[in-house]
Amino acid sequence: MTNNLAGRTAVVTGASSGIGAATAALLAARGARVALLARREERLTGLVQEIKRAGGEAIAVAADVAGSASVATAVRRVLGVFGGVDLVVNNAGIMLPAPAEQADLADWERQIDVNVTGALRVVHALTPSLLRAAATGPADLINISSIASHVPFPSFAAYTASKAAVTHLSTTLRAELGGRGVRVTAVEPGVVATELQGHVTDPAANEWLDGLIGSIEVLTAQDVAEVIAFTAARPAHVNLSRITLYPTRQT
């Protein structure tokens, strides 16, 4: 088996940092053409330059998955440049924990809009391209979920609900699209050292996260990127449908 992704064309959302940035760089290093999508265009531009200096091919596309028009415009640009897409890494997300009685309803709504509806916007826009690609070769939809999809974390109610939705969305889309050649995967990491915690304002949640990150060796964005690249590089008849990865000492 090989990890070579030459000839593949990928879209990675949330690509300005963390898992998205690491994944985009690794897919490009393995031979894929990559479209990096995120809100922070200046970050994307810098990452594209790094990829090109390393010999890869990539474009930066400013997009906000919280807006349907933004996603549609971004996808039109990607298809205009690359012609088609056969690998989608649906990674954009946000985490805003707080105790239920103190939570800001707008924060709950934002997590659902970005993590769930945002994922749906991307799926809706790119499924036709994936189906076309599946007629002649591998096609992958890889949705980044979390162990929070099935593990309860107090104060993380909306976030865990959003990730449960992403995992179940992936399971159902696999049932619908797998028979037509599109592989669908839910990747569920445990604690990863990324900028995601930077969104957290609740003191108790930050204290818990800081304590966990300081007490064990947590996953890196590169660890998760390696799993994503490995999944996409399997032979077209092999679908790793649900992958859960923990830091070894996270129990």
In this structure, are strands 9-13 and 87-90 parallel, antiparallel, or unpaired? parallel
Q: How far apart are CA 44 and CA 183, in angstroms?
A: 27
Read off the DSSP letter of residue 117.
I
- Supply 144's token pair: 């980044």
Answer whether 243's CB lies under 8 Å from 227's CB. yes
Among 61, 140, 159, 225, the one annotated catalytic: 159
- Active-site annotation holds for 159: yes
Paired residues of 133 in beta bridges? none
In sequence order, what are the residues at sequence separation of 6 or more whose Cβ sits closer than 8 angstroms to the Cβ of residue 162?
93, 111, 112, 115, 116
Q: Which residues of 126-148 are buried (b: 16+ CB within 10 A; e: fewer)?
A: bbebbeebbeeebbbbbbbbbbb
Tokens 């996270």 -> residue: 250
Q: How many CB atoms lie within 10 A of CB 190?
A: 21
For 65, 107, 133, 228, 229, the CA distances from 236, given in Å and listed in that order, are 28, 39, 11, 15, 14
Point out the residues that are catalytic. Answer: 159
